[in-house]
């Protein structure tokens, strides 16, 4: 079981996604508990103010430190100091599958979502223990990044994905892109499927899939190959193999 505590001024927006997705099922199954905490509930003024103008001037608003500190300290209680407190921010290190795997072994994680121009720097310096970004593009706040982090961790938990062919089978598990997938019909608008997939020869199918993963990765994401889990033979083959177009699809099967 893992517990997430999310600090946001938009808990309702997050709840609608978290209720509907596979994360929703994991919550019903008791593998995940998600506490959504409205930072506004931790303000003390009549207007429940969560943001203010920046010192030094300039445009935009900055999220005030007090409601965020008080919310996190109050919710984490005795666990404060033990739990990673993650700030979602474009300035963080990029969140990867390796981070998802590490955090999936934690019993509890706190996620702070800013809005506007971001949070007062003291949140970053004196409350957050980690700062991550989900990628190099600009969003309007940390809520979508927090959902991304939660989703990527929840699907790694035992018993969440249901059947076999789970997390180990997919893209990034070995550091390679996925092989092509096909389902019925075998001929759609004249486009067939690779004959090998109809052969019933499981060794040949596994070899074809591995080969497709390697070829795809070397064509589309050669940057992944350094860290990928490859045999010396596979590395040797890739270095000598022409990195041409993906092999053309096999002839239609019918």
Q: Which residues bind ligand JD8 (CB under 6 A)?
A: 88-90, 114-118, 133-135, 137-142, 145
- Give the residue from 246, 103, 140, 253 showing the smallest Cα distance to 191: 253
Q: Of the listed 66, 117, 178, 211, which one is catalytic?
A: 117
> Least separation, in Å, of the C-beta of 98 and ligand JD8?
17
3-class secondary-structure state, position 209: helix
> Least separation, in Å, of the C-beta of 158 and ligand JD8?
27
CA gap 252, 94 in Å, rounded: 42
- Terminal-to-terminal C-alpha distance of the chain: 48
Q: Kindly tell me which of 112 and 193 has the beta carbon lying closer to ligand JD8.
A: 112
Residues 6+ apart with CB under 8 A from 89: 114, 118, 119, 124, 131, 132, 133, 142
* 170 part of the active site: yes
Q: Which helix (H) or strand (E) holds 99?
A: helix 97-103
Q: Kindly tell me which of 84 and 186 has the beta carbon lying closer to ligand JD8.
A: 84
Q: Kindly tell me which of 123 and 160 has the beta carbon lying closer to ligand JD8.
A: 123
Main-chain dihedrals φ then ψ at residue 159, nearest 5 degrees: 85, 0
Q: Of the listed 115, 124, 155, 209, which one is catalytic?
A: 155
* 167 part of the active site: no
> Least separation, in Å, of the C-beta of 127 and ligand JD8?
15
Q: Kindly tell me which of 63 and 228 has the beta carbon lying closer to ligand JD8.
A: 63
Hey, which residues are catalytic here? 90, 117, 155, 170
């Amino acid at each position: 079981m893992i517990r997430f505590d999310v600090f946001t001024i938009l808990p309702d927006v997050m709840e609608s996604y978290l209720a509907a997705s596979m994360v929703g099922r994991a919550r019903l199954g008791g593998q995940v508990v998600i506490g959504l905490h409205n930072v506004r509930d931790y303000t003390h003024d009549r207007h429940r103010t969560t943001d203010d103008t920046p010192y030094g001037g300039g445009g935009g608003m900055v999220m005030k430190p007090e409601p965020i500190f008080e919310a996190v300290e109050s919710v984490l209680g005795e666990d404060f100091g033990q739990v990673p407190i993650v700030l979602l921010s474009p300035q963080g290190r990029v969140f990867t599958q390796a981070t998802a795997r590490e955090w999936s072994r934690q019993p509890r994680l706190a996620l702070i979502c800013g809005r506007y121009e971001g949070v007062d720097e003291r949140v970053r310096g004196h409350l957050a223990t980690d700062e991550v970004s989900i990628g190099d593009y600009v969003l309007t706040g940390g809520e979508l990044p927090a959902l991304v982090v939660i989703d990527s961790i929840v699907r790694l938990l035992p018993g969440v994905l249901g059947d076999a062919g789970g997390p180990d089978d997919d893209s990034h598990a070995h550091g390679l892109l996925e092989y092509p997938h096909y389902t019925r019909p075998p001929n759609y608008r004249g486009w067939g499927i690779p004959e090998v997939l109809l052969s019933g020869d499981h060794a040949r199918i596994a070899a074809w899939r591995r080969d497709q993963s390697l070829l795809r990765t070397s064509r589309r994401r050669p940057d992944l190959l350094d860290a990928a889990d490859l045999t010396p033979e596979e590395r040797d083959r890739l270095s000598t193999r022409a990195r041409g177009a993906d092999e053309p699809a096999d002839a239609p099967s019918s």
